[in-house]
Amino acid sequence: MEFGNVLSHYFNTEHDIIDKYERGDKIINEDIVDFYPNKKYDLIISISTLEHVGWDEKPKKPEKISDAIKRLKNILNKNGKIVFTIPMGENPYLENLIINKKIKTSELYFIKKISEDTWKQVDLKKAKDIKYNFPFKKVNGIIMAAIKK
């Protein structure tokens, strides 16, 4: 299952896609916190989507991300995994939850942009110095993580 419709923009997909806003033939338009499927998933992928949950809503509800993570974990099969990325600098609330281990991850990586087309894995100390829109336009760092049930 994919939370946020990203992969289908690059190739044909056959998996379930949950996206509250984007419309399409194979997209289930539901808020993830209200999504109760009749099946569970071995793998859930989310590419640059989690940072929008609660953060981009009016009024802003940053704490909603915790409910979304719980919901995603609840629809995983035993030993299932959530794999996700979030761009650094777009949602400091979510970044702090991850960095301070309020969202428990089984794997956690930080990727820093070091030139226009080159990215490098860095440790947490170096990741904390990553700024949005500096030195390059927009995203200069990505958090890649997994949560295992």
Q: What is the pLDDT of residue 145?
A: 99
Asked if 139 contacts 87 with a C-beta cutoff of 8 angstroms, the reply is yes
Distances (CA, A) of 40 to 1, 72, 77, 149: 9, 10, 5, 12
Q: Where residue 22 falls among pLDDT bands split at 50, 70, 90?
A: very high
Question: 115-149: per-residue pLDDT in tens?
Answer: 999 999 999 999 999 999 999 999 999 999 999 99
Is the pLDDT reported for residue 19 higher than 90? yes
| Domain ranges (residues) in the chain | 2-148
Average pLDDT over every residue of 56-76: 97
Q: Where residue 25 falls among pLDDT bands split at 50, 70, 90?
A: confident
Task: List, in order, residues 6 or more apart from 63 with CB less than 8 Å away.
Answer: 54
Question: 98-114: per-residue pLDDT in tens?
Answer: 999 999 999 999 999 99
Determine whether domain 2-148 maps to CATH 3.40.50: yes
Distances (CA, A) of 52 to 58, 101, 144: 12, 19, 16
